[in-house]
Amino acid sequence: MYTTRVTRHIDVRVSEVYAALVDADAVERWRVPRNMTASVHEFDARVGGRVRISLTYDDPEAPGKTSANTDTYRGRFVELTPNVGTVEEVEFESANAALAGTVTVTTRLTPDGDGTMVELIQEGMPDAVPPADNELGSRMALDALAEYLEGWPRA
Protein backbone atom coordinates (compact mmCIF):
# COMPACT_ATOMS: atom_id res chain seq x y z
CA MET A 1 0.00 0.00 0.00
CA TYR A 2 1.20 3.51 -0.73
CA THR A 3 0.19 7.17 -0.60
CA THR A 4 -0.35 9.53 -3.53
CA ARG A 5 -0.26 13.28 -2.91
CA VAL A 6 -0.95 15.87 -5.62
CA THR A 7 -1.65 19.60 -5.47
CA ARG A 8 -3.15 22.14 -7.86
CA HIS A 9 -3.83 25.87 -7.63
CA ILE A 10 -7.31 26.84 -8.79
CA ASP A 11 -8.24 30.45 -9.55
CA VAL A 12 -11.50 30.52 -7.58
CA ARG A 13 -12.43 31.05 -3.94
CA VAL A 14 -12.23 28.22 -1.41
CA SER A 15 -16.02 28.23 -1.03
CA GLU A 16 -16.47 27.51 -4.74
CA VAL A 17 -14.00 24.63 -4.66
CA TYR A 18 -15.64 23.15 -1.57
CA ALA A 19 -19.05 23.34 -3.24
CA ALA A 20 -17.68 21.28 -6.16
CA LEU A 21 -16.40 18.62 -3.74
CA VAL A 22 -19.82 17.99 -2.20
CA ASP A 23 -22.10 18.25 -5.24
CA ALA A 24 -22.79 14.97 -7.08
CA ASP A 25 -23.35 16.63 -10.45
CA ALA A 26 -20.07 18.54 -10.18
CA VAL A 27 -18.17 15.43 -9.04
CA GLU A 28 -19.45 13.52 -12.06
CA ARG A 29 -17.94 16.18 -14.31
CA TRP A 30 -14.53 16.66 -12.72
CA ARG A 31 -13.55 13.66 -10.59
CA VAL A 32 -12.36 11.60 -13.51
CA PRO A 33 -9.22 11.33 -15.65
CA ARG A 34 -9.46 12.56 -19.25
CA ASN A 35 -9.66 9.08 -20.71
CA MET A 36 -12.68 8.07 -18.62
CA THR A 37 -16.29 8.99 -17.91
CA ALA A 38 -17.74 9.13 -14.39
CA SER A 39 -21.14 7.90 -13.23
CA VAL A 40 -22.25 8.80 -9.71
CA HIS A 41 -24.56 6.08 -8.38
CA GLU A 42 -24.76 7.25 -4.78
CA PHE A 43 -23.53 10.47 -3.19
CA ASP A 44 -24.81 11.55 0.22
CA ALA A 45 -22.49 14.42 1.21
CA ARG A 46 -22.79 14.26 4.98
CA VAL A 47 -20.67 12.58 7.64
CA GLY A 48 -21.45 8.87 7.37
CA GLY A 49 -23.11 9.39 3.98
CA ARG A 50 -22.44 6.83 1.28
CA VAL A 51 -20.65 7.34 -2.02
CA ARG A 52 -20.48 4.99 -5.01
CA ILE A 53 -18.91 6.05 -8.30
CA SER A 54 -17.93 4.23 -11.51
CA LEU A 55 -15.16 5.40 -13.83
CA THR A 56 -15.44 3.88 -17.31
CA TYR A 57 -12.58 3.99 -19.78
CA ASP A 58 -13.36 5.60 -23.14
CA ASP A 59 -11.33 2.77 -24.72
CA PRO A 60 -13.50 -0.38 -24.45
CA GLU A 61 -10.32 -2.49 -24.49
CA ALA A 62 -8.84 -0.82 -21.38
CA PRO A 63 -8.84 -3.21 -18.42
CA GLY A 64 -11.08 -2.19 -15.53
CA LYS A 65 -10.73 -3.18 -11.90
CA THR A 66 -14.43 -3.98 -11.44
CA SER A 67 -15.59 -5.11 -14.88
CA ALA A 68 -14.37 -5.13 -18.48
CA ASN A 69 -13.48 -1.41 -18.72
CA THR A 70 -14.87 0.07 -15.51
CA ASP A 71 -13.50 0.86 -12.05
CA THR A 72 -16.19 1.22 -9.38
CA TYR A 73 -15.51 2.29 -5.82
CA ARG A 74 -17.76 2.75 -2.82
CA GLY A 75 -17.37 4.18 0.62
CA ARG A 76 -18.46 6.87 3.01
CA PHE A 77 -17.74 10.42 4.03
CA VAL A 78 -15.74 10.60 7.26
CA GLU A 79 -15.30 14.38 7.48
CA LEU A 80 -16.88 17.34 5.71
CA THR A 81 -15.55 20.68 6.86
CA PRO A 82 -16.92 23.59 4.82
CA ASN A 83 -14.20 25.57 3.06
CA VAL A 84 -11.50 23.33 4.57
CA GLY A 85 -11.95 19.93 2.92
CA THR A 86 -13.29 16.41 2.95
CA VAL A 87 -12.20 12.94 4.02
CA GLU A 88 -13.64 9.78 2.48
CA GLU A 89 -12.93 6.10 3.06
CA VAL A 90 -13.42 4.12 -0.14
CA GLU A 91 -12.66 0.70 -1.58
CA PHE A 92 -12.70 -0.78 -5.04
CA GLU A 93 -15.50 -3.15 -5.96
CA SER A 94 -13.35 -5.98 -7.27
CA ALA A 95 -12.95 -9.73 -6.95
CA ASN A 96 -9.17 -9.20 -7.20
CA ALA A 97 -7.77 -9.58 -3.67
CA ALA A 98 -4.79 -7.40 -4.65
CA LEU A 99 -7.20 -4.43 -4.91
CA ALA A 100 -8.81 -5.01 -1.49
CA GLY A 101 -8.53 -2.53 1.34
CA THR A 102 -9.70 0.88 2.37
CA VAL A 103 -8.24 3.97 0.74
CA THR A 104 -8.54 7.21 2.71
CA VAL A 105 -9.05 10.12 0.32
CA THR A 106 -8.41 13.53 1.87
CA THR A 107 -8.98 16.76 -0.02
CA ARG A 108 -7.57 19.86 1.70
CA LEU A 109 -8.33 23.42 0.64
CA THR A 110 -6.10 26.36 1.51
CA PRO A 111 -6.67 29.98 0.47
CA ASP A 112 -3.86 30.96 -1.92
CA GLY A 113 -3.88 34.57 -3.06
CA ASP A 114 -7.08 35.10 -5.02
CA GLY A 115 -7.54 31.35 -5.43
CA THR A 116 -7.27 28.03 -3.67
CA MET A 117 -4.54 25.42 -3.29
CA VAL A 118 -6.13 21.98 -3.49
CA GLU A 119 -4.24 19.02 -2.04
CA LEU A 120 -5.48 15.51 -2.80
CA ILE A 121 -4.06 12.71 -0.64
CA GLN A 122 -4.87 9.03 -1.17
CA GLU A 123 -3.57 6.84 1.65
CA GLY A 124 -3.64 3.05 1.54
CA MET A 125 -3.76 2.73 -2.25
CA PRO A 126 -3.28 -0.95 -3.16
CA ASP A 127 0.09 -1.77 -4.72
CA ALA A 128 -1.81 -3.40 -7.63
CA VAL A 129 -2.64 0.12 -8.84
CA PRO A 130 0.54 1.43 -10.47
CA PRO A 131 1.64 4.54 -8.53
CA ALA A 132 2.49 6.51 -11.69
CA ASP A 133 -0.95 5.77 -13.16
CA ASN A 134 -2.69 6.79 -9.93
CA GLU A 135 -0.72 10.03 -9.73
CA LEU A 136 -1.45 10.86 -13.38
CA GLY A 137 -5.17 10.15 -12.95
CA SER A 138 -5.26 12.27 -9.80
CA ARG A 139 -3.54 15.17 -11.56
CA MET A 140 -5.98 14.87 -14.47
CA ALA A 141 -8.91 15.00 -12.04
CA LEU A 142 -7.56 18.16 -10.36
CA ASP A 143 -6.98 19.69 -13.79
CA ALA A 144 -10.60 18.85 -14.64
CA LEU A 145 -11.72 20.46 -11.36
CA ALA A 146 -9.83 23.62 -12.29
CA GLU A 147 -11.31 23.63 -15.78
CA TYR A 148 -14.81 23.06 -14.40
CA LEU A 149 -14.52 25.88 -11.87
CA GLU A 150 -12.55 28.33 -13.98
CA GLY A 151 -14.78 27.85 -17.02
CA TRP A 152 -12.15 26.40 -19.34
CA PRO A 153 -13.35 24.04 -22.04
CA ARG A 154 -12.47 20.41 -21.42
CA ALA A 155 -10.99 18.70 -24.49
pLDDT truncated to tens, each residue of the chain (155 aa)?
999 999 999 999 999 999 999 999 999 999 988 888 899 999 999 999 999 999 888 877 777 677 777 888 999 999 999 999 999 999 999 888 998 999 999 999 999 998 999 999 999 999 999 999 999 999 999 999 999 999 865 44
Query: How does DSSP classify residue 154?
Result: P
Instruction: Tell me the one-letter amino acid at 62.
Output: A
Walk me through the domains of the chain, giving residue ranges and CATH numbers. Answer: 2-150 (3.30.530.20)
User: CA 155 to CA 50: how far, in whole Å?
Assistant: 31
CA 60 to chain centre: 22
Strand partners, 93: none
Cα angle: 38, vertex 144, 10; to 5 degrees = 140
Evaluate whether 74 touches 65 at the Cβ level (below 8 Å).
Answer: no
User: pTM of the predicted model, to two decimals?
Assistant: 0.89
Please give the backbone phi and psi of residue 55, each rounded to the nearest 5 degrees, phi first.
Answer: -115, 120
Evaluate whether 74 touches 42 at the Cβ level (below 8 Å).
Answer: yes
